[in-house]
Structure 1
Amino acid sequence: MTIDRIAYPSGAVCGLALDHRDSLRVAARTRGYPDDNASMRSLKTELARGLAPTASVVLLDTELGIDAMAELDGTPLVIPLEAQGYETIGKGRLTTLLSDVDPQRAAALGAVGCKLLLPYRPDLADAARRQEETAAAVIAACRAAGVLSIIEPIVYGEVPALGAKVVETAKRLARLGPDLLKLQYPGDAYYCERLTAICGAVPWVLLGGGTIEDTFLAQLRDACTAGARGYVVGRTAWDTALVTDDAARERAVAGRAAFLARCRALVEATP
């Protein structure tokens, strides 16, 4: 299986991330939207129904997104493997895997791939080594289950030379052989070009990072001009739809669908 399974015929990967859990609750709470499990499941179902037609792949979790999976109508599904939060080792952060979801179960649920969120600092050697071991194990398990492995490293904290660290992170994780890297914007067009060069045969897409629309579109243009295959966007896509009034939320979801259509058009128009 290749990432063509989660791309449009043009080759563009236009992903929608609805796999947020704790961060979705926090965002909902700040807007006065109910954040209990039933409300979160209902919201994800509504977002999937309205936005999945604009995506070549949708990320949904099994905790709050299991009902929404029925709304995908053939859009490929990717399931996350990381638990919420992280362990620490010194200043480093370590991913904890979910105890009840693995690539085999994801495949049984109809997923074509699994995603692993990986807080990563190349300058923190012990934590970096442990995170690489986790990523390697997940990649192997995905391969055995016949699903794609999507690794999402995030360079965290206040770090100097962010672009160089994002590139170094991509270099180390690309060596592990994932099917796709989901990467943060490294700061400018030059570092986007470095990402493409350093990833080699491993394709990469841009993550949204919660940025505003115009900022994300500018970043996406840089990334795709440099060779990125597309994007997987989450909060930037759904954030403004967190309103309690049903009619206003319906209008907001329609607006988010129009934004995602613009994103796809940009990717497919970029040589």
Structure 2
Amino acid sequence: MTVSERRGYQQICDAEGFMLVVAADQRGGMRKLLASDEADQKKISTAVLGRVKGDIVRHLANAAASCVLLDPVCAVPDVVRDATLSRSTGLLIGLDESGWDVSPEGFRLSKLCPGINARRVRELGGTGAKLMVYLRPDAEGANEYNLKIIRDCVADFAAEDLLLVVEILTYQLDREMEDEYQARFPSIIVECARLALECGSKVLKMPYPGTAEACSRITALCGPVPWAVLSAGVNHETFVGQVEIAMQNGASGIIAGRSLWKDCIHLDSDVSAKRLSEIAVPRLRELKSIVAAHRASV
């Protein structure tokens, strides 16, 4: 990392240098949690979603996290302008648009928010940005479009000398059996890390790859490049176990969203405040204790 990127990385980490980031950049997924009926989901405006995200910032991220991840559509820059975001809490801004396109071959094509680049992230008050792309390294022809997105964004953020976190997700192919996909999953995630690193990524956000051995392989590939494990919406108890294993095998922290707040957010801000404070904050502090235990052992 450059000096500027290193400074940005320090600001998304806790005092000991580990990432403890609350992810709240979801849009479609968050609407589904707030309303079960599709028609009601469509009625949730960007402004309302921004208010819900503001509650997450105010009652969860500011209380126990080193940083919050938000999209540039709903809550940013309002959380900066109205001082909802604590001055000591870092801000990552998501570059990716909600959802994905599909190629003629059936592969997922990642989408970017229009008009959001490194310069715009800086203008919005971001400490840095997060880019998410889908990869299937084991499928011929599945990746070049999305790898180009990574390379282009890495170059753009390098030119602006601004921190970029690259998130890699994978997916089950059409006609691929679930048991086949699960058997391949650890090796797929390891190869996703390799491809992202080859594109110049300097910080990675990765799914838990399924095994301690796969975590160790990612760490070996990354060398000095830090990687955080994401929650992928699993329940808190499951994520606790995943974080234990990931941290024991070289991860540099967590970037967690739904596992923390999916059963806490509500259209009523008073309800959200109570649930986030009484349920989500203790969850994050438990995860923080795991990171602290790892820190004490190294």
TM-score range, shorter chain: over 0.9
Q: Are the aligned partners of 1:59 and 1:79 in contact in 2 as well (CA < 8 Å)?
A: yes
**Residue of structure 1 in register with 2:52 after alignment:** 43
CA distance in 2, matches of 1:243, 1:99: 28
One-letter amino acid of the counterpart of residue 175, structure 1: E
Q: Tell me, yes or no, if structure 1 residue 68 matches structure 2 residue 82.
A: no
Which deviates the most, 68-77 or 109-118? 68-77
Q: Are the aligned partners of 1:182 and 1:206 in contact in 2 as well (CA < 8 Å)?
A: yes
TM-superposed CA distance for 1:247, in Å, is: 4.5
CA distance in 2, matches of 1:107, 1:259: 31
**Residue of structure 2 in register with 1:15 after alignment:** 21
CA distance in 2, matches of 1:161, 1:26: 29
2:30 to 24, 28, 32: 24
Q: Give the SS at the match of 1:179.
A: coil
Q: For structure 1, which runs of at least 5 residues remain unmatched after alignment? A: none
Q: For structure 2, which runs of at least 5 residues remain unmatched after alignment? A: 173-177
Tell me the percent identity: 29
One-letter amino acid of the counterpart of residue 241, structure 1: C
Over 3 Å counting, the alpha-carbon distance change for 1:246 and 1:41 in structure 2 is closer
Normalised to the residue count of structure 1, the TM-score between the two structures is: 0.94
**Residue of structure 2 in register with 1:147 after alignment:** 162
TM-superposed CA distance for 1:126, in Å, is: 2.1
CA distance in 2, matches of 1:155, 1:246: 34
Q: Tell me, yes or no, if structure 1 residue 120 matches structure 2 residue 135.
A: yes
Number of positions where the alignment pairs a residue of Structure 1 with one of Structure 2: 271
1:179 to 178, 202, 207: 202
TM-superposed CA distance for 1:246, in Å, is: 5.0
Q: Are the aligned partners of 1:179 and 1:203 in contact in 2 as well (CA < 8 Å)?
A: yes
Q: Are the aligned partners of 1:94 and 1:130 in contact in 2 as well (CA < 8 Å)?
A: yes
One-letter amino acid of the counterpart of residue 73, structure 1: S
Q: Tell me, yes or no, if structure 1 residue 82 matches structure 2 residue 92.
A: no
Q: Tell me, yes or no, if structure 1 residue 237 matches structure 2 residue 225.
A: no
One-letter amino acid of the counterpart of residue 149, structure 2: T
CA distance in 2, matches of 1:173, 1:98: 20
Which deviates the most, 123-132 or 141-150? 123-132
TM-superposed CA distance for 1:108, in Å, is: 1.2
Normalised to the residue count of structure 2, the TM-score between the two structures is: 0.86
Q: Give the SS at the match of 2:260.
A: helix
TM-superposed CA distance for 1:171, in Å, is: 0.9
TM-superposed CA distance for 1:253, in Å, is: 0.7
Q: Deviations over 1:58-80 (max 9, x none)?
A: 11112111223431112111111
TM-superposed CA distance for 1:244, in Å, is: 4.8
